Amino acid sequence: MLVLEFSTLVLEKCPTETIELFLSGNIPADLRFEGQNKWVENVYSSTRKKLLSALDVIPAHNAEAILRRLPTDAFYEEHAILLGKMNQHQLALSIYVHKLHVPELALSYCDRVYDLGLQQPSRSYANIYLTLLQIYLNPRRLTKEIDQKLPSSTDSGRSDVDVDEISEEGGPIMLNEALDLLSQRWDKINGAQALKLLPRDTKLQNLRSFLEPLLRKSSEGRRNYSIVKSLRYSENLQVKEELYKHRQTVVKIDGESMCALCHKRIGTSVFAVYPNGKTLVHFVCFRDSQNLKTVRGSLTMKHK
């Protein structure tokens, strides 16, 4: 189709209309249905690949309008892409897990969102992996939420991942997938929060690949903190010792003592002593010299 063949430039100016045009009218058979009017989600024809690529580049503010144009009983991966652009990460992940049944895609989605959060410090997505963990461990509530967002169509026939195939209870928890997630991304998940989500009867041996590196990292963190704390304490003692030595220094002022700045006698004026213990200055001269340095520094910054 020429619409998708040259879709990039067209999408930049009118993304909603382009996708709507593509989804309306004569959709190629290799894209829409196969066999007895049955949608096959895991078939990626060249036309569908172009559609997925087109959806990847559309602006986020057009995602909702395009989402309304998609069939509700098909194009689940396309739904997930658009929901992700709308920051509805829980729904997008639920589709990957409960509609597409491909945990690998859900994990890749989390990785992309997490990396995006690292690039944008103002927006943190550190909990995206916990969201996926909740989806694995609480399928009943989340499948109902998908049903409300993406109701199944009774007119177009059943799909191979139709909502009706999901049991009323939402199916059993996906404990194995949850444990795999914890073992693969232990360094990006809040361990305490993750453990609270797990069933109480989860065996400790099944958590070994998650807990071992997590505890090792925690132990290293405490050890490093202890080392830094000791170094700072030692540094503080050295500073106090140096301060004590300087305070013990005796400075003798006589009639011949001169100010190193104005070259006048110190006399009975308030004076200051430089750290070398030998250079004497009037306190007023010292204060004026510091103010002059401040003014010069600010002027230098303005010129830069």
- DSSP structural state of residue 62: G
pTM over 0.85: no
The domain segmentation of the chain, as residue ranges, is 2-202, 251-304
Q: Report the C-alpha gap between 31 and 49 in whole angstroms.
A: 9
pLDDT per residue, tens digit, the chain (304 aa), is 444 444 445 555 555 556 665 555 445 545 554 444 567 777 788 878 888 888 888 887 888 888 888 887 888 899 999 999 898 999 999 999 988 899 999 999 999 999 888 877 656 576 899 999 999 998 766 555 665 665 443 333 333 333 333 333 446 889 999 999 999 998 888 888 999 999 988 888 888 888 888 888 777 777 777 888 888 888 888 888 888 887 777 888 888 899 999 999 988 889 888 878 788 999 999 998 888 877 666 656 655 5
Name beta bridge partners: 265.
258
Question: If you search the block for the tokens 């249905």, which residue do you land on?
Answer: 33
* Contact assessment for residue 197 and residue 130, using Cβ atoms and an 8 Å cutoff: yes
- What secondary structure does DSSP assign to 81-110, as a single string? HHHHHTT-HHHHHHIIIIIS--HHHHHHHH
